[in-house]
Structure 1
Amino acid sequence: MIETPGFLFTLVAFVAAIGPLVFVHELGHYLVGRWCGVKAEVFSIGFGHELAAWTDRRGTRWRIGAFPLGGYVRFKGDMNAASQTDPAWLQLPASERAESFPAKPLWQRALIVAAGPAINFLFAILLLGGLAWLNGEPISQPVVHTVEEGSAAARAGLRQGDRIVSIMGRRIESFAEIAYIVRLRPAEPLAYEIHRDGRVVSMTIAAGVHVEKDRFGNVFRLGQLGVRSNTVTLREVAFWEIPVVGARRTGQIFVSAIDGLGQIVTGRRSIKEMGGPLKIAQISGQAATLGVQSFVFFVAFVSINLGFINLLPIPMLDGGHLLFYGIEAVQRRPVSPRAQEWAFRSGLAVLMTMMVLVTFNDLSSFGLWKSLSGLIG
């Protein structure tokens, strides 16, 4: 087993992963805001005490905060980092009101807000597409060549030569897509459609449970079907295909993120599996020790999840703002300031609760509570 990297190395890797992603996310808001004629008063990477700052010729203060988990762009007319509207914007001179965020049409405000998550997905597309361009893309038909004895597939009656057409109603185009679905669903019965001898056979298969420990000692509970393919080939990816292949891989990871959240919400997976900043820091250090490409893949993975989380309809997040704009579009007037205030407070409470929960999970995964109980005992 490879030893977990030291604290300093892990910290540097964590900052190297999170820092650029936060910058890219906020840059999306900033660039679209500028395109729409909105003045950015502050562009911050991190929160809390200001470590460094400068003001550009447009009057935007660029700052680096001591707490690196996040960032924000505060546009003219915003009251705070959460982009709540400052009622005082109406008292500004006409020329300044024109460059305020609340003065812009609904579609422009929505575009500015959506640009943050969108650029996270775009960034991941370029990274994953670039890796495929460098290494090639594994291609395999979803045809069963080997069925492992005693596996879930063997018990369900899968045979050599069966072509898996769909799982859970999702079309399967490659063998790798089987793993994307099955690994997240250990012991969960899933509907399969199999093409066998010129006819389609429907069956329900519950994947087996495989407990896997990586080289750093992390333990994962994964679904395992028990089938293999012998038709894997490595396809060379042309430069112009980078966005196409990257988008396909990003889509697969995005769907997996939605699946994972859905399983936690419905109780099919334990909430203990949710990780937070400490776990991300640990994995970033581990990924960095495995090489540049492993680290780049990890950054792409986090970028996708960052975009996904920000789209959740929780006030304080981009998705919460977009929800308000959707309501505004339907009722043809903004959500009342009082309702927004209560929503933002509720959203902050939800986020703080989740932060405490995932931090507790992180510390549990590090064995802290077990160590403390041993000391107390």
Structure 2
Amino acid sequence: MQTLIAIIVIFGLIIAIHEWGHLYVAKKVGILCREFAIGFGPKLFSKKKNETVYTLRLLPLGGFVRMAGEDPETVQIKPGYEVGLTFHSDDTVKEIIVNNKAKHADAKIVSVERADLEHDLFIDGYSDDEEGLIRYDVHPQADMIVDEEREQIAPWDRQFGSKKPWKKAAAIFAGPVMNFVLAFILFLIYGLIQGIPQPIVSNVMDDSAAEEAGLAEGDRIVAIEGESIDGWTDMTQMIQQSPDEEITMLVDRDGATESFTMMVDSVYEDVVDAEIGQIGVEPTWSHSVFESLQYSVSQIQEVVVLIFDVLQLIFTGDFSLDYLAGPVGIYDYTGEVMQLGILILVSWTAMLSVNIGLINLLPLPALDGGRLVFIGLEAIRRKPIDPDKEGVAHFIGFALLMLLVLMVTWNDLNRLFM
């Protein structure tokens, strides 16, 4: 149960910050955002603030921001319709009641002759209490009420399709960017609390290779086998790759450089299922803000490089589903991470956020990167791609993405239970 709660909180945070990025920038460039949703399926909670309905839905498998104009309007007022109208004090239309007009006693009943709710914002119609054809000016924030459900109309200048390509791209790009911002903040928190390990010896273990070679507390390791050491991670990686090998290490001791030669010990590591090297020293921990900032940037870079290394395997023919983890695999890994403490869970959340942000930027239909490709083509062609063709591309991309998720999930189940 704890793992399930952790998964919901982690992905709720990652999804919320991603969708908030879309929402914030879309509003800034003037796009009407009808809904900000966390999850899919039936609504569990909803609250409208300003022009946007904020909803929490049953299935915590993602989220979305519903921008006006991305999908065709579900209800259109056509000639012959009979609608109810209510008005603001300046006589502009406040509400357009499509059905259940009897529940709105104050509404004026109008038989529609013509209507334009996108560009000129008017309804021409006939009313029993007025003679002749009357034009009713519609307020740009008027509500359409269908089955007692309200939805604000979307004038053309508030729709996604009306915006310049760079504004569309900004609204789409903002989601993945916020995932990187979240990861940066989480890695920074980890660094400030946990501290950043420095290649400075704080303790030498008894009977270790380091003790036999003569390393001492306060020694700063500056190079191994002629390669300079920039941080503790660099040092440990080089040592771990050299089990049962002799290495030469340059150390700064009290301002003087000294050389030490030692035979690296070999230990079995369950996580990597292999022998790795160690010399038996512990680092000095720094809680410097500057070093924590550097750490945050470097961790994001490492995760990005790792992801691209895996993607590169697709083109070399060495790719395997074992390199990917689906919902089941992530659930299992999260359970293991929880055993290591809250700070490791924070770091794990940051890595997942980088993954989601970067994967979303891949130029594949159904992902943000795919949408950016179509926006780029629009900018080059100087006219939008046919919405129907783009919709088909995204639908196919989504179907293939779901197929991949199913395959990875099946692979996770086989790996865990078979």
TM superposition score normalised by structure 2: 0.64
1:38 aligned onto 2:31: yes
Match of 1:153 in 2: none
Q: Alpha-carbon deviations, 1:120-143, whole Å to 9, x = none? A: 0011101101111112212339xx
2:42 pairs with 1:49: yes
Q: 1:161 to 1:70 in 2, by over 3 A?
A: closer
Unaligned runs of 5+ in 1: 1-7, 148-159, 166-171, 186-193, 197-209, 215-219, 371-377
Aligned match of 2:389: 339
> 1:236 maps to which residue?
287
Equivalent of 2:233 in 176, 184, 200: 176
Structure 1 contact 118–307 (Cα < 8 Å) conserved? yes
Q: Is the 8 A contact 2:325 2:409 kept in 1?
A: yes
CA contact under 8 A between 1:175 and 1:229: conserved in structure 2? no
Q: Deviations over 1:41-84 (max 9, x none)?
A: 0111001121221222x23111111111110001111218xxxx
Query: CA separation in 2, counterparts of 1:161 and 1:245?
Result: 21
Alpha carbons of structure 1 residues 331 and 212: separation in structure 2 relative to 1, 3 Å: farther
* Higher-helix-fraction structure: 1
Q: How does 1:230-309 map to 2 (within 5 A)?
A: 232-238=283-289, 242-309=292-359
Give deviations 1:314-360, integer Å, cap 9, x for gaps: 11111111111222222322223343133113212220111111111
**1:332–1:174 distance in 2 versus 1, CA, 3 Å:** farther
Q: Write out aligned runs for 1:86-125 (5 A).
A: 92-93=118-119, 95=140, 96-125=155-184
Cα distance change, pair 244–340 in 1 and its aligned pair in 2 (3 A): same
CA contact (8 A) 1:181 1:256 kept: no
Report the CA distance between 1:180 and its aligned residue: 7.4
Q: Distance in 1 between matches of 2:321 and 2:239?
A: 19
Structure with bigger gyration radius? 2
Between the aligned residues of both structures, percent identity stands at 29
Structure 1 residues 319, 211: CA separation in 2 closer, same or farther (over 3 Å shift)? farther
Instruction: Say if 2:16 is the partner of 1:23.
Output: yes
The whole-number CA distance in structure 2 between the counterparts of 1:31 and 1:161 is 48
Match in the other structure for 2:379: 329
Equivalent pair of 2:19/2:64 in contact (CA under 8 Å): yes
The CA deviation at 1:38 is 1.4
Q: Distance in 1 between matches of 2:396 and 2:296?
A: 36
Q: Is the 8 A contact 1:128 1:300 kept in 2?
A: yes
Structure 1 equivalent of residue 226 of structure 2: 163
SS in 2 for 1:366: helix
Runs of at least 5 residues in structure 2 that lack an aligned partner in the other structure: 77-115, 121-139, 141-154, 201-208, 211-222, 242-247, 251-266
Task: Check conservation: 1:47, 1:70, Cα contact below 8 A.
Answer: yes
1-structure distance, mates of 2:312, 2:59? 30
Structure 1 residues 68, 323: closer, same or farther in 2, change over 3 A? same
Pair 139,260 (structure 1): closer, same or farther in 2 beyond 3 Å:
farther
Counterparts of 1:313-324 in structure 2, within 5 Å, are: 313-324=363-374
* Number of residue equivalences: 304
**Cα distance, 1:241 vs structure 2:** 5.5
SS of the residue 1:140 aligns to: strand
Q: Secondary structure, in 3 states, of the residue corresponding to 1:129?
A: helix
Asked if structure 2 preserves the Cα contact closer than 8 Å seen for 1:272 and 1:361, the reply is: yes
Counterpart residue number, 1:76: 68
For residues 394 and 238 of structure 2, the distance between their equivalents in structure 1, rounded to whole angstroms, comes to 35
Structure with higher strand content: 2
Name the residue aligned to 2:262.
Answer: none
Bigger relative contact order (CA 8 A; separation at least 6): 1
